[in-house]
């Protein structure tokens, strides 16, 4: 079984963000980048499945040169091969153009099953996997919190998260696109051996032409929406910040809780 | 009759509208007034006519389009997309709005792909600027807001989901509309894309945090299962329950039944102390009903401070022990 996993490299959620002077996006120079959180879970799901059911994991990413680092990490964790949609035409896309590009890449590698994350931590569309599924004509499920192959790999059982602490149990026919939600499993850490082995694993790059796609149908040009500006959210009334060192602030807070909130 | 149309596709279960659906109609009315369009409401289901009739008597809309078919009895993305895609192609609404729920989010991007539409999820607001609609939505975990627009050249429909609270349900203009059957050509020969096996609870045990008076909530900023002591000690001193944001649960530092937010519990204590929680929308929807929110975070720009009454900017591993000591002192123990 050939399992595709789509991962995106995103700014570390811990990083201090600065908006570019022109407001068009954030300053990316010197930002630490990591694999998107739900994609780490998607990767673990794919690698664990390949180990259990037999087969290999191929990882895909759309991103600039820096994103190769995310692919190398995926290879170190156990993926067999990586495909980097690094060509300039692929960059700056939205779920429509990225879903289209990833679908073409997955189809070229003849994968039987795709894992993606549920939502990217930067643009947060929550949509790319579903578009990819639609483009392939495969069923999909979003916010997947449990996955198991059934009927010798012809179908799968899926646990889909619902609002307010409920889950729905589903059966999907394969091939399918499974959009994994954070918390589905416990992602492994890369071993030293894995990191060494990753250096020799194949990492290929693809251009739109390689995938049989019009360069104007992918990336920024192929996107349906464009980002106009980013800014800090208008923050309601905002908190009253209690100044001073930890002890001073803590004392001030207890005073407030006692006299203003009347809770202590 | 305005030539352009805004559709609001509502979410119902067993004839009852989902809470956010009214907000979505209000948003559609507001958008329609900005872009000079007529509003149609769409309801899908099996035997949905009574609901459609009721809505048509309540809301100022042009039409209530009722998609009534056995395949729409329970939601599946395949049936919903098969029902809506041909209808959108035929009737060409310029905007199709959905409540931003897990259900809409699962199928509307697929629908957008099928109708060559644009995808704008989690809309917090919109406005007209230089003739195009600018949609505001959170990015980077709510630390920033983005304005996005659909590229001018495309005449394709815009599919957008409206975040809870983006527009108040009481802004919905009352009135009436005409009920019409939604043509369901797409469901002829429909093959289901999934089998529904059942529904279960996500957590093994069930701690009910909804009645707690005080909650001390841990976020990823706590830093590890072995570092949860500072949370436990403050909770003990306050007589509080312990809750958490999602990553704390995902990482196994606490059990799933302590999760607060859109996938977890909704709480409304008198006091909610959020330590090391950034304030993503999915967390906020679960706790913004608290009477008093205190945020402790080392990042002064964390969005949690926007909803908090009091904030302390600093390392929670220094602030929480100091707070525990101050609470104990105040309680005279
Ligand atoms: C469909 C869906 C459903 C979701 N459901 C939920 C849900 O039910 N509940 C939920 O909570 N989330 C949910 N999420 C996840 C949500 O989007 C956020 O990712 C999550 O709430 C972030 O948790 P956090 O604030 O603890 O972590 P982060 O966003 O990583 O924030 C950690 C914070 O800790 C601060 N910090 C770090 N170290 C320290 C220190 N030493 N002292 C003080 N502060 C420190 C940082 O400045 C930062 O602000 C959901 C997401 C999706 C896509
Ligand atoms: N640039 C990308 N490269 C590879 N996969 C992506 C990319 N963008 C999004 N994805 C996948 O689609 C999921 C949802 O992303 P989004 O629609 O941006 O929220 C992510 O969790 C990834 O698995």
- Tallying the residues shown for chain A, one arrives at 264
Token duo for residue B170: 């009481």
Searching chain A, which residue's CA lies closest to the CA of residue B238? Answer: A264
SS3 B151: coil
Q: What is the pLDDT of residues B71-80, one digit of tens each?
A: 999 999 999 9
> Do β-strands B195-201 and A166-173 pair in parallel, antiparallel, or remain unpaired?
antiparallel
Under 8 Å CB-to-CB from B261, ≥6 apart: which residues? B245, B246, B282, B283, B284, B285, B286, B287
Contact B134, B147 (CB under 8 A): yes
CB-based contacts of A159, cutoff 8 Å, min separation 6 = A144, A145, A146, A147, A167, A168, A169, A170, B200
Q: Is A130 in the pocket of ligand 2 (CB under 6 A)?
A: no
Give the tokens for residue B218: 């841990």
pLDDT at residue B304, rounded to an integer? 96
Q: Could you tell me the pLDDT band of residue A164, with boundaries at 50, 70 and 90?
A: confident
The reply to whether residue B113 touches residue A11, judged by beta carbons under 8 angstroms, is no
**pLDDT at residue A186 is higher than 80:** yes
Structure tokens at A59: 């990882």
Residue of minimum CA distance from atom 9 in ligand 1: B261
Quick count: other Cβ atoms within 10 Å of Cβ A240? 15
Residue B245 corresponds to which tokens in the numbers above?
């944001």
Check: CB of residue A126 under 8 Å from CB of residue A180.
no
SS3 content of chain A, % helix, strand, coil (to 5): 35, 25, 40
Mutate to test the pocket of ligand 1, among A11, A12, A14 (most ligand atoms within 8 A of CB): A14
Which structure tokens are listed for B262?
A: 């859109």
CB atoms within 10 A of CB B331: 13
Percent of chain A having pLDDT more than 90? 95
pLDDT in tens, A193-237: 999 999 999 999 999 999 999 999 999 999 999 999 999 987 666
- Long-range CB contacts for residues A62-66, cutoff 8 Å, separation at least 24: A62/A8, A62/A90, A62/A91, A62/A93, A62/A98, A62/A101, A62/A102, A62/A219, A63/A8, A63/A9, A63/A91, A64/A91, A66/A9, A66/A33
Ligand nearest to the CA of residue A17, numbered in listed order: 1
Strand pairing category for B16-17 and B12-13: antiparallel
Give the Å distances, CA to CA, from B213 to B272, B282, B332.
9, 22, 20
Overall average pLDDT of the A4-33 stretch = 95
Residue to mutate (ligand 2; options A120, A122, A133, A184; most atoms within 8 A of CB): A120
CA atoms of B45 and A152, how far apart (whole Å): 34
- What is the B248 CA–ligand 1 centroid distance (Å)? 8
Quick check: A32 and A9 in contact, CB under 8 A?
no
Give the residue, out of B245, B299, B319, B320, with the most ligand 1 atoms within 8 A of its beta carbon, to mutate for a pocket test: B245
Which of B144, B257, B311 is opposite residue A241, by nearest beta carbon?
B311
Cβ distance A226 to B145 less than 8 Å, yes or no, reads no
Percent of chain A at pLDDT > 70 equals 99
Between B77, B122, B322, which is nearest A247 by CB? B322
Distance B151 CA to ligand 2 centre (A): 21
Which pLDDT does position B183 carry in this prediction?
96
The alpha carbon of residue B180 is apart from the nearest alpha carbon of chain A, in Å, by: 29
State how far residue B41 is from chain A, nearest Cα, in angstroms.
23
Element (H, E) at B86: helix B77-91
Q: Which residue has the higher pLDDT, A27 or B130?
A: A27
Q: What is the pLDDT of residue A233?
A: 85
Selected for mutation to probe chain B from A31, A40, A127, A255 (highest B CB count within 10 Å) is A127
Residue B237 Cα to chain centre, angstroms = 34
Chain A nearest CA to B176, separation (Å): 31
Decide: A99 and A135 in contact? Cβ < 8 Å: yes
Output the pTM of the full model. 0.97
The angle, 0 to 180 degrees and rounded to 10, between the axes of the packed helices A37-53 and A68-77 is 40
| Block residue for tokens 């060494």 | A196
CB-facing half-sphere around the CA of A74: CA atoms within 13 A: 38
Decide if A246 and B314 are in contact by the 8 Å CB cutoff: yes
Quick one: which of A190, A215, A183, A240 has its CA closest to A37? A183
Residue whose tokens read 């042009």: B62
Give, in order, the Cα–Cα distances in Å from B180 to each of A251, B40, B52.
Answer: 64, 10, 9
Backbone angles phi, psi at B279, to 5 degrees: 100, 40
Query: In this predicted structure, what is the pLDDT of residue B3?
Result: 80
Residues with Cβ within 8 Å of A33's Cβ and at least 6 positions away in sequence, in order, are A9, A10, A11, A12, A66, A67, A69, A70
Question: Smallest Cα–Cα separation from B6: which of B43, B48, B44, B36?
Answer: B36
**pLDDT tens-digit readout, A105-135:** 999 999 999 999 999 999 999 999 999 999 9
How many CA atoms, within 13 angstroms, populate the side-chain half-sphere of residue A157? 10
Q: Are A156 and B138 in contact (CB under 8 A)?
A: no
DSSP state letters, A110-173: T-SEEEEES--SSS--S-HHHHHHHHHT--EEEEEEEEEEEGGGTEEEEEEE-STTEEEEEEEE
Asked if the Cβ–Cβ distance from B278 to A13 is below 8 Å, we say yes
Q: Give the pLDDT means over successive 10-residue stretches in chain B (333 positions).
A: 88 91 98 97 95 97 97 96 97 97 98 98 96 96 96 85 94 97 94 96 87 97 98 98 98 96 96 98 96 97 95 98 97 80
């Amino acid at each position: 079984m050939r399992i595709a996993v789509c991962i995106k490299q995103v700014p570390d959620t811990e990083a201090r963000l600065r908006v570019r002077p022109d407001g068009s996006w954030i300053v990316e120079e010197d930002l630490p980048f990591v694999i998107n959180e739900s994609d780490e879970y998607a990767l673990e799901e794919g690698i664990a499945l390949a180990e259990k059911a037999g087969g290999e994991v191929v990882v895909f990413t759309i991103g600039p040169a820096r994103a190769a680092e995310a692919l190398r990490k995926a290879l170190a964790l156990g993926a067999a091969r990586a495909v980097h949609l690094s060509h300039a035409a692929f960059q700056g896309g939205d779920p429509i153009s990225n879903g289209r590009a990833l679908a073409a890449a997955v189809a070229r590698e003849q994968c039987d099953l795709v894992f993606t994350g549920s939502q990217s931590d930067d643009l947060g569309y929550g949509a790319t996997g579903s578009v990819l599924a639609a483009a392939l004509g495969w069923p999909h499920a979003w916010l997947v919190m449990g996955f198991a192959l059934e009927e010798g790999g012809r179908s799968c059982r899926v646990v889909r998260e619902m609002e307010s602490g409920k889950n729905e149990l589903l059966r999907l026919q394969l091939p399918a696109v499974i959009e994994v939600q954070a918390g589905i499993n416990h992602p492994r850490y890369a071993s030293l051996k894995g990191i060494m082995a990753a250096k020799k694993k194949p990492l290929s790059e693809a251009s739109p032409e390689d995938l049989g796609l019009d360069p104007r149908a992918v990336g920024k040009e192929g996107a349906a929406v464009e980002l106009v500006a980013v800014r800090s959210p208008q923050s309601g009334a905002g908190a009253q910040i209690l100044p001073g060192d930890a002890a001073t602030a803590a004392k001030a807070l207890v005073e407030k809780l006692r006299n203003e909130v009347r809770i202590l | 009759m305005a030539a352009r149309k805004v559709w609001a596709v509502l979410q119902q279960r067993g004839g009852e509208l989902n809470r956010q659906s009214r907000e979505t109609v209000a948003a559609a009315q507001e958008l329609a007034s900005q872009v000079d369009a007529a509003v149609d409401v769409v309801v899908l289901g099996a035997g949905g006519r009574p609901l459609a009739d009721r809505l048509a008597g309540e809301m100022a809309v042009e039409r209530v389009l009722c998609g009534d078919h056995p395949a729409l009895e329970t939601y599946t993305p395949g049936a919903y997309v098969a029902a809506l895609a041909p209808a959108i192609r035929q009737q060409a609404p310029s905007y199709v709005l959905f409540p931003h729920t897990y259900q809409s989010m699962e199928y509307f991007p697929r629908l957008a792909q099928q109708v060559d539409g644009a995808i704008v999820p989690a809309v917090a607001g919109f406005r007209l600027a230089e003739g195009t609609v600018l949609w505001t939505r959170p990015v980077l975990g709510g630390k920033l807001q983005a304005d996005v627009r659909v590229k001018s050249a495309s005449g394709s429909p815009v599919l957008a989901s409206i975040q809870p609270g983006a527009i108040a349900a009481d802004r919905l203009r009352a009135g009436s509309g005409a009920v019409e059957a939604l043509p369901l050509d797409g469901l002829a020969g429909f093959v289901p894309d999934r089998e529904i096996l059942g529904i279960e609870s996500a957590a093994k045990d069930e701690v009910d945090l909804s009645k707690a008076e005080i909650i001390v909530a841990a976020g990823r900023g706590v830093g590890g299962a072995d570092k949860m002591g500072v949370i436990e000690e403050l909770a003990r001193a306050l007589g509080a329950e312990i809750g958490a944001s999602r990553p704390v649960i995902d990482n196994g530092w606490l059990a799933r039944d302590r999760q607060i937010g859109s996938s977890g519990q909704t709480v409304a204590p008198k006091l909610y102390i959020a330590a090391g929680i950034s304030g993503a929308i999915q967390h906020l929807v679960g706790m913004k009903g608290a009477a008093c929110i205190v945020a402790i975070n080392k990042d002064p720009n964390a969005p949690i401070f926007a909803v908090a009454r009091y904030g302390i900017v600093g390392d929670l591993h220094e602030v929480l022990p100091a707070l525990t000591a101050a609470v104990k002192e105040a309680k005279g123990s």
